[in-house]
Amino acid sequence: MPVAGPVAQPVAELRGITKNYGAIAALRGIHLTIEPGELVALLGPNGAGKTTAVRILLGLTPATSGRAAIFGHHPASREARLRRGAQLQVAKVPETLRVREHIELFSSYYENPLPFAETIAAAGLKGIENRLFGDLSGGQRQRVLFALAICGNPGLLLLDEPTVGLDVEARRGLWTRIREYVARGGSVLLTTHYLDEADALANRIAVINQGRIAAEGTPAEIKERGAAAGLEDAFLAIMKESSLQEVA
């Protein structure tokens, strides 16, 4: 038998994933792979199943069927936990801890965390290390949550709508920090409703609608689906098309 050459292991994998919440079919057979160094954007309307996919990769909820893996490990395993970081759509951390204390606490969960100063720099938190989380503005809180996602020096970042509520400058700042993370060798799964964000950051976009992948490709390939009218029109065209197929 020929010996296969070394194959880079996917950073994250969803294979034939379904997820039912009672009668609600949130995911209906999703295949999604994130290769090393990739930033994959998951787009889709409210209720499409994006957060459900992220929660499965985080081991927070089990899939109903299919296989999910992080660097080949079960999402709920210690190995997977040590190699990923996440910023969730709805995240709560204690208001009465200081920025520094949050980062030190989270860093202690990991085997090879980033040095504190590097986390502060990578999240744009210089100067507010000693502030109470509860005293921070919305944008500053988002930056702390990003710091908690990267402080463990993970190979995979799962970012669920990380730029909601940020002003333009703060959003661009986070884009820069995400790009820097990818430049250092990290891989990212990002969900967003901002199509310009997916266009600016992603090397691959997966559009999800009603629990299925409706389209997948580079931003340029996805845009072509909208007769080159831009990503937003392509997105709407894909939604319309995949919903019609659903009805048929």
Q: In the complex, which residue's CB is closest to Mg ion?
A: 51
Least gap, CB of 130 to Mg ion (angstroms): 33
- 187 interface partner picked from ligand ATP, Mg ion, none, CB below 5 to 8 A per type: none
Three-state SS across the chain? CCCCCCCCCCCEEEEEEEEEECCEEEEEEEEEEECCCCEEEEECCCCCCHHHHHHHHCCCCCCCEEEEEECCECCCCHHHHHCEEEECCCCCCCCCCEHHHHHHHHHCCCCCCCCHHHHHHHHCCCCCCCCEHHHCCHHHHHHHHHHHHHCCCCCEEEEECCCCCCCHHHHHHHHHHHHHHHHCCCEEEEECCCHHHHHHHCCEEEEEECCEEEEEECHHHHHHCCCCCCHHHHHHHHHHHHHHHHHC
Residue of 38, 51, 56, 69 that binds Mg ion (CB under 5 A): 51
The nearer residue to Mg ion, 64 or 89, going by C-beta atoms, is 89
Is residue 163 involved in binding Mg ion (CB under 5 A)?
Answer: no
Q: Which does 113 bind (CB under 5 to 8 A by kind): ligand ATP, Mg ion, none?
A: none
Among ligand ATP, Mg ion, none, the one that 49 touches (CB under a kind-dependent 5 to 8 A) is: ligand ATP
User: Is 87 an interacting residue with respect to Mg ion (CB under 5 A)?
Assistant: no
Residue 52 found at the interface with Mg ion (CB under 5 A): no
Q: Residues 41 to 70: which contact ligand ATP by CB under 6 A?
A: 44, 46-52
- Minimum distance from CB of 54 to ligand ATP (Å)? 8
Q: In this chain, which stretch among 20-28, 87-95, 126-134, 171-179 interacts with Mg ion, using CB under 5 A? A: 87-95
In the complex with Mg ion, which residue's Cβ is closer, 61 or 89?
Answer: 89
Cβ nearer to ligand ATP, comparing 3 with 90: 90
26 lies in the binding site for ligand ATP (CB under 6 A): yes
Binding to ligand ATP, residues 135-174 (CB under 6 A):
none
C-alpha 238/C-alpha 248 separation (Å) is: 15
**Chosen from ligand ATP, Mg ion, none, partner binding at 44 (C-beta under 5 to 8 Å by type):** ligand ATP
Report, in Å, the least distance between residue 1 CB and ligand ATP. 42
Burial 217-234 (b: 16+ CB within 10 A, else e): eebeebbebbeeeebeeb
209 binds Mg ion (CB under 5 A): no
Within 73-132, the residues that bind ligand ATP by CB under 6 A are 89
CB 85 within 8 A of CB 147: no
C-beta separation of 159 from 179 below 8 A: no
Enumerate binding residues for ligand ATP (CB under 6 A).
Answer: 21, 24, 26, 44, 46-52, 89
